[in-house]
Amino acid sequence: SQTIHQWPATLVQPVGSPLSLECTVEGTSNPNLYWYRQAAGRGLQLLFYSVGIGQISSEVPQNLSASRPQDRQFILSSKKLLLSDSGFYLCAWSGGSYGYTFGSGTRLTVV
């Protein structure tokens, strides 16, 4: 069966520090992968999506970047975090016309 792993669950980072969040998918090949951010009490904002290795589409201009070095690995990064980068980050995959499967999320607090 397909599973998705996202870590860490929580992260506290100082302003100006780098960020790397990793997401891996098992049990499927060539998935569409997504990074979302969810502000408190709000809906989901799509940050990046990828339809294949090295293929990244950015939805909104921001301080973050994404990479897909392997078919089932999706990484969200920043060189220098801002206070406004705080939020709940969710990785997800989809295999076609079915629903998305989400990771358990990473709560990022930039201090």
Partner 1 sequence: SQQGEEDPQALSIQEGENATMNCSYKTSINNLQWYRQNSGRGLVHLILIRSNEREKHSGRLRVTLDTSKKSSSLLITASRAADTASYFCATAYLNAGNNRKLIWGLGTSLAVNP
* Interacting residue ranges for partner 1, rule: CB under 8 A: 6, 32, 42-44, 46, 49, 51, 57, 88, 90, 92, 94, 97-105, 107
**Mind spelling out the 3-state secondary structure of the chain?**
CCEEEEECCEEEECCCCCEEEEEEEECCCCCEEEEEEECCCCCEEEEEEEEECCEEEECCCCCCEEEEEECCEEEEEECCCCHHHCEEEEEEEECCCCCCEECCCEEEEEC
Minimum Å distance from CB 80 to partner 1?
A: 26
Looking at beta carbons only, is 67 or 100 nearer to partner 1? 100
Minimum Å distance from CB 74 to partner 1?
A: 14
Looking at beta carbons only, is 7 or 79 nearer to partner 1? 7
Looking at beta carbons only, is 2 or 79 nearer to partner 1? 2
